[in-house]
Amino acid sequence: MTLSVAIGRAGDSCRWRVSCSERQISRSLRRGYAERTGVPARTPSTITTVDGLLAASAEVHARGYALDLSENEAGKVCVSAAIHDYTGRATHGLSISSIALEHPGESIAMFAPQAIAAAAEISALLGAQGRR
């Protein structure tokens, strides 16, 4: 999907036209949000840079699930998958959580297939037609 956006006020003699992909818009929105709100550390493992957050976000998008390896709360880990609504937008998430002692490193990722399957089932019940 490509979106064209006109920038400027109605009646302006100079208007800028920008075309960009949905992924570029999403990246731009994530960067803007992170820059506006900051990326505060919640634990020593928290990603605290905008570029780090964008890189992690791209990795999540590529593999289809997210990992929290004690980034939000020390000693807790989880794997999560997006739940999509009838428009195909990711509106919620489903996570499987544990403690790092039980699932050290990235071993919580072994539950990714179950998280993805459960999120897909819920998405289908919400009218999603598959991942877009």
pLDDT tens digits, 27-83: 788 888 888 888 889 999 999 998 898 899 889 989 999 999 999 999 999 999 999
| φ, ψ (nearest 5 deg) of residue 56 | -65, -40
DSSP state for residue 1 in the 8-state scheme? -
Helices (H), 1-132: 22-37, 50-63, 112-125
Is the overall model pTM greater than 0.95, yes or no?
no
Q: Binning pLDDT at 50, 70 and 90, where does residue 110 land?
A: very high
Mean pLDDT is lowest, of 17-21, 78-82, 112-116, for 17-21
Cα 35 from Cα 10, distance rounded (Å): 29
